[in-house]
Amino acid sequence: MEPRKYIVCALAALLLAGCSSGQIRMSGSDDAAIDPMDLQIRIGRLAVMTDQAQDAISVLEDRTSSPPSALVTEDGAQDFFEQLHYVLFRYNSVHMEACAQAWLDERACKGSYQPRWLKRSKTDTPTLRELDKWAEDLQERVVAIRSVVCAPAGERTGNDFFCMVE
């Protein structure tokens, strides 16, 4: 198995372990409608999807990609917030590279994504509902990049499952 696959498998195992631990804190009554396990999985998928987009760009540019940073997957809204910061950092890096290589339309390359929540203090724990909304917004952006780069990278490698998430 390739080293990259070991990393993805390890991330999946960490996500599943975190989901089964039952130590997730609920921040407020409005959070009852948000399943913390689903939120943790969504944020973990975003990290994987962002790394896949980076790999696709590397394939399309005939170079190897750097291994992803370790994603800590602990429970709780504050930990989700930190994970979302990691994914946002990775997304902006991949976005910048996709723009530099002209994989994205010029209109999509008007700077990095700087959502309001990025300025929020890391000690100000957001609600799960806020985190879910932020993850959904970021997911739309990650999917937009993946939709442009994954199919051509899959064709180049001959791998029909190049950017498969599940």
Domain ranges of the chain: 3-157
C-beta of residue 52 within 8 angstroms of C-beta of residue 146 = yes
Indicate the pTM of the whole model. Answer: 0.62
Tally of CA atoms within 13 A in the half-sphere of 78 that contains its CB: 7
Specify the pLDDT at position 66. Answer: 52
* Kind and range of the H or E run holding 65: none
Say how far apart CA 102 and CA 57 lie, in whole Å.
Answer: 11
Of the chain, the percentage scoring pLDDT greater than 70 comes to: 73
What is the tens place of the pLDDT at every residue in 98-123?
A: 999 998 988 889 889 999 998 988 77
% the chain with pLDDT above 90: 23
Query: Residue 162's pLDDT band (boundaries 50, 70, 90)?
Result: confident
Q: CA 107, CA 144: separation in Å to the nearest integer?
A: 13
**Distances in whole angstroms, Cα of residue 66 to Cα of each of 8, 99, 112, 141:** 14, 18, 21, 21
The helix (run of H) or strand (run of E) holding residue 131 is: helix 128-157
Amino acid letter, 65? S
Tell me: the pLDDT tens digits for 42-95? 888 888 888 888 888 888 877 665 544 444 444 578 888 888 988 999 999 999
The one-letter amino acid at 138: L
Going from the C-alpha of 36 to that of each of 1, 63, 67, 115, the distances in angstroms are 32, 38, 28, 22
Round to whole Å and give the CA distance between 56 and 54. Answer: 5
Find where tokens 């997911």 sit: 139
